[in-house]
Amino acid sequence: MIVQGAVNPDQFYVFKPALDKFQDPIIEKRLGSKQHKLIYASKGHGMIDVEVPERDRQRLVLDDGEIINLAKWATMIEEHYKKPMDIEWAKDGITGELYIVQARPETVHAAKRKGVLETYVLQEESDVLITGEAVGSKIGVGKVNVLESAFEISDFRKGEVLVTDKTDPDWEPIMRIASAIVTDRGGRTCHAAIVSRELGIPCIIGTGNGTGVLKDGQSVTVDTSEGVGRVYDGILKFSVKKTDISVMPETRTKVMMNVAVPEHVFAQGQTPCDGVGLARLEFIIASHIGIHPLALIDFENLRKRATRDPEVAEVVATIEEKTQGYDDKSEFFLDKLSWGVGKIAATFYPNDVIVRLSDFKTNEYANLIGGKLYEPLEFNPMMGWRGASRYYDDRFSPAFALECEALKRVRERKGLTNVKVMVPFCRTPEEGKKVIKIMSDHGLKQGESGLEVYVMCEIPSNVILAEEFADIFDGFSIGSNDLTQLTLGLDRDSELVSHLYDERNPAIKSLIADAVKTAKAKGRKIGICGQAPSDFPEFAEFLVGLGIDSMSLNPDSVIKTRLLVAETEKRLEKAK
């Protein structure tokens, strides 16, 4: 469910099953640009368009109570009509009262052929000319036609890319023949967004300066297939894959998905799968936060140091800019992380979503804003201070406490108890016990409200001491990438030895087979989330033969691997 305003709006995502049941059903709040607004004219009647003051642009138009109230109203309206509805609302600028002003049947998704998944894939790349909010998940190509007014319809040719400031009903004859639409202004419920969805045309809204950057006659590719709107220079090749997902076979082996960033999950969630086997916290931290957590925790001290240290002053200024509206900078981290995880968990609910705790290496943490102030220099970060060893270390434990609090909020305040936790790069059983203890101290108690805690099986010690690890954790997830490099003694990032890197090496397969055997003997779950089964069909067949419980794959490999797994399971059953 999305609750939002009309032009360049703030956006709010609400997890419907949590309404009336949990404290905080909001899974994302996104600040819009809000450059213009309509107000009553001071004299006479009518409305006038004015610029929004800078201080108001940095404030959300609704508070949490209003967001939840609107979401409840929307649910009531859908229940009344017994179908999905497009709902428009308004807020009185004087009294602050909320009103529902219109509700009509949702027609875009209802018109789609059920059971058929269309996937657009860009096969080439070029310079990105402009970006904005993506509407739909398609790709369109053509020559740019920049128009200022709908009265210029005679200048527009079928198949051209319409570029304009914003649209209204007068533009619809032009929009119907456009290959794609790009606007300077508008939000996800603006006229351009609604009509483009109904027409099935890729549309990018709120670019800010599309009419200034794109030129008449310029050949472009408009891509909304990955959740972010991008206009590329030139006509690029793309493919459209249609998959009948209504006949996907059931499998004993769970086929799950690896998820990187929350922006893509609504599209990825349409792919039939058994949940998320790997959601990486560090991807959310890098893309949604971008600031070292210790710099946020330590912000007041940094502010004092900034008066005498130019480097620190630059860090402070950047943090201030990125965290506008947050007096407590730690809350910025908690909000962004809990919203990111919450969006993923809500998309795949009630299936399991296994969230791996942060596994940045020191050089990667150092690249975050303020990171160089807190990270040591290591000559081999791949083998250094990463994963579990950070969580109980006094130099990092305050940051780990934020991770725990964010996950606790997702499970307890948003009701997303399908979130499970996974500990990466845990070298010894003793480390595992320390991490379980510190997680419990921060409110993530193993077994409470069904919380399961898994461990990555990616170090030879995880296999050799699998029985001891099984006494501590609820299950294993094989990380074939690190397991391969650590078993073969090579750096997977080094071009000099990359030709030796192969997860199909007999040594790797032997370790995986041992891990599966031990886990099953101890009654523990075991899956795999490494790259190998996504890349090599024969490796997926090998895993099915071992009786592995699940495999988590890249999104583009899920469907083909599910078909392969079903076929392999059928063949093995016949051979018994």
Q: Which positions are annotated as active-site residues?
A: 191, 529
**CA gap 354, 352 in Å, rounded:** 6
Beta bridge partners of 44: none
- 196 neighbors 107 (Cβ within 8 angstroms): no
3-state secondary structure of 215: coil
How far CA 343 is from CA of 110, 198, 291, 558, in Å, comes to: 23, 25, 21, 20
**CA gap 111, 86 in Å, rounded:** 14
Contacts of 43 (CB under 8 A, 6+ apart): none
Order of strands across the sheet with 26-30? 2-4, 11-14, 26-30
**CA gap 402, 410 in Å, rounded:** 12
**CA gap 125, 203 in Å, rounded:** 19
**CA gap 210, 237 in Å, rounded:** 22
Single-letter amino acid, residue 126: S
122 Ramachandran zone, left/alpha/beta (phi>0; psi -120 to 50) = beta
Per-residue HEC secondary structure of 513-563 comes to HHHHHHHHHCCCEEEECCCHHHHCHHHHHHHHHHCCCEEEECHHHHHHHHH
Other Cβ atoms closer than 10 A to 217: 9
**CA gap 354, 267 in Å, rounded:** 19
Rg (CA), the chain: 26
